[in-house]
Amino acid sequence: MTSPASPKTYHVKSFGCQMNVYDSERMGDLLSADGLTAVDSPDAADVVVLNTCHIRERAAEKLYSDIGRLRQPRADGSRPTIVAAGCVAQAEGAEIGRRAPDVDVIVGPLAYHRLPELLKQSETGRAVDIDMPAVPKFDSLPQRRIAQASAFLTVQEGCDKFCTFCVVPYTRGPETSRPAADLIAEAQALVARGVREVTLLGQNVNAYVDSLGAGLSLSGLIRALAEIDGLERIRYTTSHPRDMHEDLIAAHVEVPKLMPYLHLPVQSGSSRILKAMNRAHTRESYLATLATLRAARPDIALSGDFIVGFPGETEADFEDTLSIVREVQYAAAYCFKYSIRPGTPAATMPDQLSEAVKDERLARLLAAVSEGSLAFNRSTVGRRCKVLLERPGRKPGQLIGKTPWLQSAVVSIPGAAIGDLVEVDIVDAHPNSVEAVPVVPSKQESAAA
């Protein structure tokens, strides 16, 4: 069975987080610049890139099951060239080579700028690059081709924090930040392509520090980006509580383009478990940060990440997690069952909890989170705000967009199009969305216009 010698089409499948989505887009840019055309289905592609994420549970199993499907011969006896990319490829490169001999390219998240070269190399045998090169990949990537109203922009990668459950410091390397001048140029190019909102990405985005130039912190970068005409909205994720400093909180007050939303994972409401997780913050210090933030920007919407069933978590510890969810009233939260990541300190901790206990706690946590989301959405009914329209809704004439608080808003506005920033009133709330109606200009306003 052969893979195509001169591939013409490609498909990139993204398994995980937003940084993974950004990387997938950039791998697509590289392959397009190399003359390949994107196709929607892996079955129609000459090259299939599986961009894995180690944070997702059973990430490796999902990869192997996709490889199993892709290696089945097609009607003409061929199979696609298979690329294993992302954090699982980084962490388990050698194992993938052993378990899945049909994989043609194995490439880590810091080396994917070499993808076209690796594909050529793979014509004579498997090509592997899981190095963490000194020359940053961003310098070798082509212009972006994105044509959407909202785009991701990776500003920082890697992590020095070493939470005991997490594999990121091992797969994405140490914290590094891209030069602010490059980011401003990339954002300007995005705006020229019609982008109106950027979400700045990093595993620890608020640890950003301009490695060259003026040594800007994240708040300085946000202020510089806010100067770009045509860029209407700025967001950032994911932040670490330890790096949530006053200057960034001040930016939420002083930079109108910075949206009133903060994703600040706490992981657990129990300071005892936070210590075992090596989180470098306590329940109290986390709540104090939120209090400062809310005093400065009362309408800020908050979201977080939670892990249930960390080794040694007692019912009392878990109750602390439930109570912090109720106290903070998150607009949204991502809840995970603890799962072992080989090579991390927590993997070998005693008192690993059973799946049954984790399942039961996850169900209770999800119920509390969904109550909080509904309460938050209800609290916004009656607010007037702008919505950036992103996609069609289910019913004819409906469009779905994002409010400043990152709620999905469903609205029908005759004549409006995706990419428009429209003024609406929020009129109803559900756990995962709000309904809005367009602001009808008053007779006086219409006359003045």
Residues within the interface to ligand SF4 (CB under 6 A): 159, 161-163, 166, 168-169, 203-204, 240
Neighbouring residues of 329: CB distance < 8 A, sequence distance ≥ 6: 302, 372, 375, 376
Q: Encoding tokens for residue 218?
A: 């994240």
- Nearer to ligand SF4 among residue 198 and residue 207 (C-beta): 207
Smallest separation, CB 334 to ligand SAM (Å): 7
d(CA 285, CA 375): 25
Smallest separation, CB 109 to ligand SAM (Å): 12
Rule CB under 6 A: choose which of 12, 107, 168, 436 binds ligand SAM: 168
Residue 265 touches ligand SAM, criterion: CB under 6 A: yes
307 binds, among ligand SF4, ligand SAM, none (CB under 5 to 8 A by kind): ligand SAM
Rule CB under 6 A: choose which of 318, 330, 336, 376 binds ligand SAM: 336
Smallest separation, CB 165 to ligand SAM (Å): 4
Q: Encoding tokens for residue 105?
A: 């390219």
341 binds, among ligand SAM, ligand SF4, none (CB under 5 to 8 A by kind): ligand SAM
Q: Encoding tokens for residue 124?
A: 């004579």
Neighbouring residues of 211: CB distance < 8 A, sequence distance ≥ 6: 176, 177, 178, 179
Q: What are phi and psi of 417, to 5 degrees?
A: -135, 160
Q: Is the preceding peptide bond at 238 cis, omega within 30 degrees of 0?
A: yes
339 binds, among ligand SF4, ligand SAM, none (CB under 5 to 8 A by kind): ligand SAM
Stretch in the footprint of ligand SAM (CB under 6 A) among 96-104, 251-259, 332-340, 420-428: 332-340
162 binds, among ligand SAM, ligand SF4, none (CB under 5 to 8 A by kind): ligand SF4
Neighbouring residues of 242: CB distance < 8 A, sequence distance ≥ 6: 161, 280, 281
Residue 273 touches ligand SAM, criterion: CB under 6 A: no
Rule CB under 6 A: choose which of 55, 82, 105, 302 binds ligand SAM: 55
Residue 338 touches ligand SAM, criterion: CB under 6 A: yes
- Nearer to ligand SF4 among residue 165 and residue 405 (C-beta): 165
222 binds, among ligand SF4, ligand SAM, none (CB under 5 to 8 A by kind): none
Residue 402 touches ligand SAM, criterion: CB under 6 A: no
- Nearer to ligand SAM among residue 208 and residue 336 (C-beta): 336
Q: Is 216 exposed, middle or buried (0-12, 13-18, 19+ CB in 10 A)?
A: buried
- Nearer to ligand SF4 among residue 161 and residue 297 (C-beta): 161
Neighbouring residues of 435: CB distance < 8 A, sequence distance ≥ 6: 409, 410, 411, 426, 427, 428, 429
Stretch in the footprint of ligand SAM (CB under 6 A) among 93-101, 125-133, 173-181, 334-342: 334-342
d(CA 99, CA 95): 6
Q: Encoding tokens for residue 263?
A: 């994703």
Residue 358 touches ligand SAM, criterion: CB under 6 A: no
Residue 286 touches ligand SAM, criterion: CB under 6 A: no
Residue 198 touches ligand SAM, criterion: CB under 6 A: no
Residue 305 touches ligand SAM, criterion: CB under 6 A: yes
Residues at the contact surface with ligand SAM, assessed by CB under 6 A: 17, 55, 165-166, 168, 203-204, 238, 240, 265, 267, 305, 307, 336, 338-339, 341
